[in-house]
Protein backbone atom coordinates (compact mmCIF):
# COMPACT_ATOMS: atom_id res chain seq x y z
CA UNK A 1 0.00 0.00 0.00
CA UNK A 2 1.54 3.32 -1.08
CA UNK A 3 2.02 5.75 1.84
CA UNK A 4 3.36 8.77 -0.07
CA UNK A 5 3.04 10.39 -3.48
CA UNK A 6 5.33 8.80 -6.04
CA UNK A 7 8.22 11.18 -6.89
CA UNK A 8 9.89 9.19 -9.67
CA UNK A 9 8.60 6.51 -12.02
CA UNK A 10 11.03 4.39 -13.99
CA UNK A 11 10.14 2.00 -16.80
CA UNK A 12 12.87 -0.41 -17.86
CA UNK A 13 12.46 -1.90 -21.32
CA UNK A 14 14.18 -5.25 -21.33
CA UNK A 15 14.21 -8.79 -22.64
CA UNK A 16 14.94 -9.96 -19.09
CA UNK A 17 12.40 -8.34 -16.76
CA UNK A 18 13.31 -10.74 -13.95
CA UNK A 19 16.83 -9.25 -13.64
CA UNK A 20 15.32 -5.83 -13.02
CA UNK A 21 12.59 -7.13 -10.75
CA UNK A 22 15.08 -8.88 -8.46
CA UNK A 23 17.46 -5.92 -8.50
CA UNK A 24 14.86 -3.48 -7.18
CA UNK A 25 13.04 -5.73 -4.74
CA UNK A 26 15.42 -5.67 -1.74
CA UNK A 27 16.79 -3.25 0.80
CA UNK A 28 16.37 0.51 0.38
CA UNK A 29 14.89 0.35 -3.13
CA UNK A 30 12.44 -2.37 -2.14
CA UNK A 31 11.26 -0.33 0.85
CA UNK A 32 11.00 2.88 -1.17
CA UNK A 33 8.88 1.07 -3.75
CA UNK A 34 6.66 -0.38 -1.05
CA UNK A 35 6.23 3.08 0.47
CA UNK A 36 5.27 4.39 -2.99
CA UNK A 37 8.07 6.99 -3.17
CA UNK A 38 9.42 5.47 -6.38
CA UNK A 39 8.00 3.08 -8.95
CA UNK A 40 10.19 0.81 -11.04
CA UNK A 41 8.45 -1.33 -13.64
CA UNK A 42 10.16 -3.66 -16.10
CA UNK A 43 8.48 -3.76 -19.52
CA UNK A 44 8.89 -7.05 -21.38
CA UNK A 45 10.27 -6.14 -24.79
CA UNK A 46 9.45 -9.60 -26.11
CA UNK A 47 5.73 -8.82 -26.00
CA UNK A 48 6.37 -6.06 -28.60
CA UNK A 49 8.23 -8.48 -30.91
CA UNK A 50 7.22 -9.17 -34.51
CA UNK A 51 5.43 -12.15 -36.03
CA UNK A 52 4.32 -15.35 -34.38
CA UNK A 53 7.73 -15.77 -32.74
CA UNK A 54 7.79 -12.22 -31.35
CA UNK A 55 11.14 -11.48 -32.98
CA UNK A 56 13.09 -8.50 -31.61
CA UNK A 57 16.44 -8.87 -33.44
CA UNK A 58 17.77 -9.46 -36.93
CA UNK A 59 21.00 -9.87 -38.90
CA UNK A 60 23.11 -6.76 -39.44
CA UNK A 61 22.97 -5.09 -42.84
CA UNK A 62 26.44 -5.35 -44.38
CA UNK A 63 27.19 -8.60 -42.54
CA UNK A 64 29.34 -9.16 -39.49
CA UNK A 65 28.91 -10.98 -36.21
CA UNK A 66 25.88 -10.99 -33.95
CA UNK A 67 22.37 -9.68 -34.17
CA UNK A 68 20.98 -6.16 -33.97
CA UNK A 69 17.90 -5.02 -32.04
CA UNK A 70 15.12 -4.16 -34.45
CA UNK A 71 13.74 -0.62 -34.29
CA UNK A 72 10.03 -1.55 -34.42
CA UNK A 73 9.72 -3.51 -31.14
CA UNK A 74 11.88 -1.07 -29.15
CA UNK A 75 10.02 2.01 -30.39
CA UNK A 76 6.61 0.43 -29.76
CA UNK A 77 7.64 -0.54 -26.22
CA UNK A 78 8.90 2.96 -25.46
CA UNK A 79 5.75 4.57 -26.86
CA UNK A 80 3.58 2.30 -24.72
CA UNK A 81 4.91 3.97 -21.56
CA UNK A 82 5.93 7.41 -22.87
CA UNK A 83 4.36 10.69 -21.78
CA UNK A 84 5.41 14.31 -22.37
CA UNK A 85 7.53 14.35 -19.17
CA UNK A 86 9.45 11.20 -20.04
CA UNK A 87 13.19 11.16 -20.46
CA UNK A 88 14.24 8.31 -22.75
CA UNK A 89 17.67 6.81 -22.12
CA UNK A 90 19.33 4.06 -24.12
CA UNK A 91 21.97 2.16 -22.17
CA UNK A 92 24.96 1.79 -24.49
CA UNK A 93 28.74 1.69 -23.98
CA UNK A 94 28.96 4.56 -26.47
CA UNK A 95 26.89 7.01 -24.45
CA UNK A 96 27.80 9.83 -22.13
CA UNK A 97 29.55 8.44 -19.05
CA UNK A 98 27.17 8.21 -16.10
CA UNK A 99 28.27 10.14 -13.01
CA UNK A 100 26.90 11.61 -9.79
CA UNK A 101 26.03 14.90 -11.45
CA UNK A 102 23.82 13.14 -13.97
CA UNK A 103 22.32 11.00 -11.20
CA UNK A 104 21.37 14.20 -9.35
CA UNK A 105 19.83 15.69 -12.47
CA UNK A 106 17.79 12.54 -13.15
CA UNK A 107 16.61 12.32 -9.55
CA UNK A 108 14.67 15.55 -10.17
CA UNK A 109 12.79 14.07 -13.15
CA UNK A 110 9.34 12.51 -12.83
CA UNK A 111 9.61 9.71 -15.42
CA UNK A 112 12.59 7.84 -16.86
CA UNK A 113 12.44 5.22 -19.59
CA UNK A 114 15.60 3.11 -19.53
CA UNK A 115 16.08 0.92 -22.58
CA UNK A 116 18.35 -2.13 -22.26
CA UNK A 117 20.14 -3.45 -25.30
CA UNK A 118 21.27 -7.03 -25.95
CA UNK A 119 23.16 -8.80 -28.76
CA UNK A 120 25.31 -6.32 -30.72
CA UNK A 121 23.17 -3.40 -29.63
CA UNK A 122 20.51 -1.11 -31.09
CA UNK A 123 19.65 -0.31 -34.69
CA UNK A 124 20.97 3.26 -35.01
CA UNK A 125 17.55 4.60 -36.05
CA UNK A 126 16.10 3.87 -32.60
CA UNK A 127 18.11 6.75 -31.13
CA UNK A 128 17.21 9.03 -34.05
CA UNK A 129 13.48 8.28 -34.08
CA UNK A 130 13.02 8.43 -30.29
CA UNK A 131 15.43 11.37 -29.92
CA UNK A 132 16.87 9.43 -27.00
CA UNK A 133 19.91 10.12 -24.87
CA UNK A 134 22.62 7.47 -24.62
CA UNK A 135 24.19 6.56 -21.32
CA UNK A 136 27.20 4.40 -20.52
CA UNK A 137 28.13 3.09 -17.08
CA UNK A 138 31.81 2.82 -17.98
CA UNK A 139 34.37 1.98 -20.59
CA UNK A 140 33.73 -1.76 -20.78
CA UNK A 141 31.17 -3.89 -22.56
CA UNK A 142 28.43 -5.81 -20.73
CA UNK A 143 26.32 -8.49 -22.39
CA UNK A 144 23.16 -6.49 -21.80
CA UNK A 145 21.84 -3.20 -20.46
CA UNK A 146 20.00 -4.61 -17.43
CA UNK A 147 22.88 -4.38 -14.95
CA UNK A 148 23.71 -0.91 -16.32
CA UNK A 149 20.06 0.10 -15.78
CA UNK A 150 20.23 -1.16 -12.20
CA UNK A 151 23.37 0.92 -11.60
CA UNK A 152 21.49 4.00 -12.82
CA UNK A 153 18.39 3.16 -10.78
CA UNK A 154 20.42 2.65 -7.57
CA UNK A 155 22.38 5.87 -7.97
CA UNK A 156 19.37 7.99 -8.97
CA UNK A 157 16.78 6.65 -6.54
CA UNK A 158 18.91 7.11 -3.41
CA UNK A 159 18.92 10.84 -4.23
CA UNK A 160 15.13 11.04 -4.38
CA UNK A 161 13.92 12.64 -1.12
CA UNK A 162 12.56 10.06 1.30
CA UNK A 163 14.32 7.04 -0.22
CA UNK A 164 17.33 7.05 2.11
CA UNK A 165 16.26 7.30 5.76
CA UNK A 166 18.77 9.96 6.84
CA UNK A 167 18.75 12.78 4.25
CA UNK A 168 22.29 13.80 5.32
CA UNK A 169 23.77 10.54 4.02
CA UNK A 170 23.58 11.23 0.26
CA UNK A 171 24.76 14.81 0.84
CA UNK A 172 27.91 13.57 2.59
CA UNK A 173 28.70 10.73 0.20
CA UNK A 174 31.64 10.69 -2.17
CA UNK A 175 31.14 12.97 -5.20
CA UNK A 176 28.29 14.93 -3.58
CA UNK A 177 30.53 17.97 -3.21
CA UNK A 178 32.98 16.79 -5.83
CA UNK A 179 35.19 15.10 -3.20
CA UNK A 180 35.71 11.57 -1.93
CA UNK A 181 34.26 10.95 1.49
CA UNK A 182 36.53 10.87 4.57
CA UNK A 183 37.40 7.45 6.05
CA UNK A 184 34.69 5.90 8.25
CA UNK A 185 35.10 3.86 11.44
CA UNK A 186 32.78 1.94 13.75
CA UNK A 187 33.18 -0.14 16.90
CA UNK A 188 35.44 -1.61 18.22
CA UNK A 189 37.80 1.28 18.93
CA UNK A 190 40.72 -1.13 18.55
CA UNK A 191 40.68 -3.78 15.85
CA UNK A 192 43.70 -6.09 15.72
CA UNK A 193 45.93 -3.31 16.93
CA UNK A 194 44.46 -0.69 14.56
CA UNK A 195 42.90 2.22 16.39
CA UNK A 196 40.46 4.98 15.51
CA UNK A 197 41.55 8.62 15.11
CA UNK A 198 41.29 10.25 18.53
CA UNK A 199 39.15 13.13 17.30
CA UNK A 200 36.30 10.78 16.36
CA UNK A 201 36.08 9.62 19.97
CA UNK A 202 36.13 13.16 21.34
CA UNK A 203 32.42 13.89 20.96
CA UNK A 204 33.41 17.35 19.69
CA UNK A 205 31.14 17.79 16.64
CA UNK A 206 32.88 20.81 15.17
CA UNK A 207 36.32 19.23 15.41
CA UNK A 208 34.96 16.02 13.86
CA UNK A 209 33.41 17.99 11.01
CA UNK A 210 36.68 19.81 10.28
CA UNK A 211 38.69 16.58 10.52
CA UNK A 212 36.33 14.92 8.03
CA UNK A 213 36.61 17.79 5.60
CA UNK A 214 40.40 17.77 5.78
CA UNK A 215 40.61 14.00 5.35
CA UNK A 216 38.15 14.16 2.50
CA UNK A 217 40.38 16.71 0.76
CA UNK A 218 43.50 14.64 1.43
CA UNK A 219 41.91 11.44 0.17
CA UNK A 220 40.68 13.13 -3.00
CA UNK A 221 44.10 14.65 -3.59
CA UNK A 222 45.77 11.27 -3.17
CA UNK A 223 43.29 9.08 -5.02
CA UNK A 224 41.33 11.23 -7.45
CA UNK A 225 43.10 14.55 -8.01
CA UNK A 226 41.11 14.87 -11.25
CA UNK A 227 38.00 15.59 -9.14
CA UNK A 228 39.46 18.63 -7.39
CA UNK A 229 39.03 21.03 -10.29
CA UNK A 230 35.26 20.37 -10.34
CA UNK A 231 34.75 20.42 -6.54
CA UNK A 232 32.38 22.97 -4.99
CA UNK A 233 35.04 25.12 -3.37
CA UNK A 234 34.18 27.52 -0.57
CA UNK A 235 36.43 29.58 1.72
CA UNK A 236 36.66 26.84 4.35
CA UNK A 237 37.61 24.18 1.82
CA UNK A 238 40.33 26.42 0.42
CA UNK A 239 41.69 27.07 3.89
CA UNK A 240 41.65 23.37 4.80
CA UNK A 241 43.29 22.47 1.50
CA UNK A 242 46.14 24.86 2.28
CA UNK A 243 46.57 23.02 5.60
CA UNK A 244 46.57 19.65 3.83
CA UNK A 245 49.26 20.82 1.40
CA UNK A 246 51.24 22.28 4.27
CA UNK A 247 51.12 18.95 6.12
CA UNK A 248 52.25 17.11 3.02
CA UNK A 249 55.22 19.40 2.42
CA UNK A 250 58.40 17.43 3.14
CA UNK A 251 60.32 18.45 6.27
CA UNK A 252 63.40 20.43 5.25
CA UNK A 253 66.49 18.21 5.54
CA UNK A 254 68.93 19.04 8.29
CA UNK A 255 71.48 21.40 6.85
CA UNK A 256 69.03 22.85 4.28
CA UNK A 257 68.25 26.52 4.33
CA UNK A 258 70.07 29.77 3.94
CA UNK A 259 73.41 29.97 5.52
CA UNK A 260 73.55 26.35 6.65
CA UNK A 261 76.95 24.78 6.21
N1 LIG B 1 28.28 -3.81 -30.00
C2 LIG B 1 28.07 -2.83 -28.98
C3 LIG B 1 29.22 -1.82 -29.01
O4 LIG B 1 30.34 -2.23 -29.25
O5 LIG B 1 28.99 -0.63 -28.74
C6 LIG B 1 27.98 -3.47 -27.62
C7 LIG B 1 26.75 -4.26 -27.42
S8 LIG B 1 26.64 -4.99 -25.82
C9 LIG B 1 27.30 -6.59 -26.10
C10 LIG B 1 24.92 -5.29 -25.60
C11 LIG B 1 24.17 -4.26 -24.79
O12 LIG B 1 24.70 -4.19 -23.47
C13 LIG B 1 24.22 -2.85 -25.28
O14 LIG B 1 23.29 -2.61 -26.31
C15 LIG B 1 23.89 -2.04 -24.03
O16 LIG B 1 22.51 -1.96 -23.82
C17 LIG B 1 24.51 -2.90 -22.95
N18 LIG B 1 25.80 -2.38 -22.50
C19 LIG B 1 27.00 -2.96 -22.67
N20 LIG B 1 27.98 -2.25 -22.12
C21 LIG B 1 27.40 -1.15 -21.57
C22 LIG B 1 27.90 -0.02 -20.87
N23 LIG B 1 29.19 0.14 -20.63
N24 LIG B 1 27.02 0.92 -20.46
C25 LIG B 1 25.71 0.78 -20.70
N26 LIG B 1 25.17 -0.28 -21.38
C27 LIG B 1 26.01 -1.23 -21.81
Q: Within this chain, do residues 60 and 144 fall inside the same structural domain, yes or no?
A: yes
Residue 253 belongs to a domain: no
Q: Is residue 48 over pLDDT 80?
A: yes
Q: Within this chain, do residues 29 and 144 fall inside the same structural domain, yes or no?
A: yes
Residue 261 pLDDT: 42
- Tens of pLDDT, residue by residue over 151-197, are 999 999 999 999 998 888 888 899 988 999 999 999 999 999 999 99
Residue 257 pLDDT: 54
Q: Is residue 58 over pLDDT 60?
A: yes
Residue 223 belongs to a domain: yes
Residue 162 belongs to a domain: no
- Please tell me the distance from the alpha carbon of residue 169 to that of residue 157, in angstroms, as a whole number: 13
> How many angstroms is it from 118 CA to the middle of ligand 1?
7
Q: Chain-wide mean pLDDT for the chain?
A: 95
Q: Within this chain, do residues 113 and 200 fall inside the same structural domain, yes or no?
A: no
Stretch 45-51: mean pLDDT, rounded? 98
Residue 140 belongs to a domain: yes
- Tens of pLDDT, residue by residue over 197-236, are 999 999 999 999 999 999 999 999 999 999 999 999 999 9
Which of the residues are catalytic? 93, 120, 158, 173
Q: Within this chain, do residues 102 and 13 fall inside the same structural domain, yes or no?
A: yes
> How many angstroms is it from 90 CA to the middle of ligand 1?
10
**What range defines the domain where residue 229 resides?**
190-248
Entry pTM: 0.93
Per the structure, how many domains does the chain have?
2
The CATH number of the domain holding residue 218 is 1.10.1270.20
The CATH number of the domain holding residue 73 is 3.40.1280.10
Which residue's CA is the closest to the ligand 1 atom numbered 9? Answer: 143
Sheet holding 8-14, edge to edge: 38-44, 8-14, 111-116, 86-97, 133-136
- Tens of pLDDT, residue by residue over 234-260, are 999 999 999 999 999 988 877 665 544
Residue 175 belongs to a domain: no
Q: Within this chain, do residues 12 and 131 fall inside the same structural domain, yes or no?
A: yes
Nearest atom of ligand 1 to the alpha carbon of 135: 25
Amino acid sequence: MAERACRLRIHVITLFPEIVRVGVSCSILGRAREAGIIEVEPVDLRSFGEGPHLVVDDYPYGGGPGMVMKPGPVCRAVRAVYNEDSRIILLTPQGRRFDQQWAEEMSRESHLVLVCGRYEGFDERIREVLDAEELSVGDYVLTGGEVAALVVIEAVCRLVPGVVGDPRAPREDSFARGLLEAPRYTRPADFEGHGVPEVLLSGHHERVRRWRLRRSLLRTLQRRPDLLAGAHWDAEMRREMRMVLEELRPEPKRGDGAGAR
